[in-house]
Structure 1
Amino acid sequence: MMRFRPYKSCDAEKIVSWTKDEYSFRQWSSDRFGDFPLTADALNSYYADYRDNDRHLEFTSYDEKGICGHMIVRFTDEEKKTARFGFVIVDSERRGQGLGRKMLELAKNYTRDYLLADKITLGVFENNPAALKCYRAAGFKEVGTEDGYYSYHGDEWKCIEMELIF
Structure 2
Amino acid sequence: MLRLRPYKACDAAKIVSWTGDETAFRKWCADRFESWPITAEDLNRHYDALADSDSFYEMTAFDETGAVGHLIMRFTDERKTILRFGFVIVDDKKRRKGCGKGMLQLAIRYAFDMLKAEKITLGVFENNEPAYRCYLAVGFRETTTAQTEYYHIGNEAWKCLELELERPA
TM-score > 0.5 by shorter chain: yes
Normalising by the residue count of structure 2, what TM-score does the alignment of the two structures yield?
Answer: 0.96
Aligned to 1:24: 24
Distance between the aligned counterparts of 1:33 and 1:150, measured in 2? 13
Give 2:106's aligned residue: 106
**Cα separation, 2, equivalents of 1:153 and 1:15:** 23
Question: Cα–Cα, structure 1 residues 164 and 13, in superposed 2: closer, same or farther, change >3 Å?
Answer: same
Instruction: For residue 67 of structure 1, give the secondary structure of its aligned residue in structure 2.
Output: strand
Residue in structure 2 matched with residue 164 of structure 1 by the alignment: 165
Counterpart for residue 148 of structure 2: 147
Gaps of 5+ in 2: none
Hey, what's the Cα distance between the residues in 2 that align with 1:144 and 1:135?
Answer: 16
2:11 corresponds to which letter in structure 1?
D
* Distance apart, 1:105 and its partner CA: 0.3
Which residue number in structure 1 is paired with residue 62 of structure 2? 62
- 2:97 corresponds to: 97
Q: Gapped runs of 5+ residues in structure 1?
A: none
Q: Does 1:123 align with 2:160?
A: no
Name the counterpart of 2:72.
72
1:13-52 alignment runs, 5 A limit: 13-52=13-52
CA drift of 1:58 comes to 0.3
Q: Deviations over 1:84-127 (max 9, x none)?
A: 00000000122111111100000000000010011000000000
**Counterpart of 1:35 in 2: which secondary structure?**
coil
Q: 2: CA distance between counterparts of 1:53 and 1:141?
A: 28
Displacement over 6 Å in runs of 4+ = none
RMSD over aligned Cα atoms: 0.9
Instruction: Report the Cα distance in structure 2 between the residues aligned to 1:148 and 1:161, rounded to whole angstroms.
Output: 9
Residue in 1 aligned with 2:136?
A: 136
Alpha-carbon separation, structure 1, partners of 2:143 and 2:108: 18
Tell me how far 1:40 sits from its aligned partner: 0.1
SS at match of 1:163: strand
TM-score for both structures, normalised by structure 1: 0.97
Hey, what's the Cα distance between the residues in 1 that align with 2:2 and 2:148?
A: 36
SS at match of 1:144: coil
Partner of 1:2: 2
What is the SS of the residue equivalent to 2:144? strand
Percent identity (aligned): 54
Displacement of 1:147 in angstroms is: 2.6
Deviation at 1:34, TM superposition (A): 1.9
**Equivalent position SS for 1:83:** strand
SS at match of 1:149: strand
Q: Give the Cα–Cα distance (whole angstroms) in 1 for the partners of residues 127 and 151 of structure 2.
A: 11
